[in-house]
A and B are shown apart, each in its own frame.
Chain A
């Protein structure tokens, strides 16, 4: 599937001209431009297609592959006289929102933090157990572990939505997002506990373990009770530690 490969490669630039008027539309058109050129050989048809697609479009950058495959299939059917224009614009408008919500939930607020935590665990493991492993393995490993499932998912999304004979909703059902959303946070909590335990072992020699535990409890309380953002918490804790140190030990000159 040469045209699908082309769309896949071009989809990485989806947000390059992100703007507050049409959002991802330009990137979307950029990805589909070579295929459109093949479908509509007449220049006026191509002009109409571009005009139709110039309204706003926004979704999760990974999930956009679903919409791209679907729109490509519909446009091909339309060019042969199968679908109506209303159907195409309706699907593009209706799919964006729900897909964005799903993508934000799965990728941005679960998969990405999880892989960050895995990277941190890897770093701590190297520091604690095997110092002779080269450190560049952490960034390289992070990139591979994060991207392998994501790229597989993106390509499958494009292919399945293009080849689907039925509604895209049925394709979406196959992802089984409920299980992902339900169990990935549990996995995340496990990783956090592992980090805490490892950190306590590493800090043992310096006697900082209780500080870390106290800080974690303080953060949880401050987050859930006062809804403080992470950046404010960083500076708040900095102030508390510096003030406490100054009060108990003096300025230290």
Chain B
């Protein structure tokens, strides 16, 4: 048996880091943090239930960056769902592919991070938040910068479409920076397609600045291959009177860890976090969410729901931090789970730290099985058992789906869910 130290895995990454000239500051911060802290060790509280380092040690043999896979228009066509209209930004193992993307530039601007010289890169997702941010800082080759100018409403959604496949290396680094200026409005969709069934490690960082009075939505689907190891750090700075809504739908992967952070930086702003994890096989999904209320009169709403079958595993950790200044905060959090098998596991933990005294905060989590009484009620009206079961599970999941306000994507995700619930789960 090999003993795993955090340093072994960290070293493997460090040995294989790309030699680049750009983003010096970011690279330096990343390296320093990794050298001191390293990737999470076995007993590390934040990664207690999701031992990414161990999984990487067991399954990743080539810590080099994956080279671009072979992509074509048909693959893109296949990934587009019914009713979709808008721009598609295609990434091949984390690298932007201009030839397959459609960037209209009409209502927003798009550039490579290396061209953008944006000053906010690395200031929203901070290295001290999570060691994988540091690793990403060190490793990403280039990334995408999307900015929506002041007062613009981007009518059609912007679809970030990732294709992942281990190729002369199993590590994929993704980096995206989004800057939504004052009073602007935009919706993003994200999906990742695994090109084969082989293991890869994808480490992504998405930073979003939602400036004063703007509205941004981010709808993400995770339905990767059964071996994929994924860490995603998604961090948003939400400014005065701005609203940001995230809806995450998670259907498949090997081990997925999502760190979602919303920094509510001023009054009148709102952060919404919705998530559905519908898991089977051995899929392991961990959602660590973090809401930071810093100023008075800001709201956060959070609802994560899970349905776990077979020997799948879910982890939910919802942190709400209400600072002393943040009076009149409304913060609501809810996590509900249904376990469909004896082997499925859920670890759920709300974590509230409240330093202000005039706030409304609530949290609750439930874990149970399918409501037998409800099932019997439907059967007693003539509805077959399997269909009744599907109906109840779908109703449970639907509460999250209704927050996807872009209808074609809602329908697309809903169909995937119904397909899953209709088949042997």
A and B bind: no
Q: Which residues of A contact B (CB under 8 A)?
A: none
Q: Which residues of B contact A (CB under 8 A)?
A: none
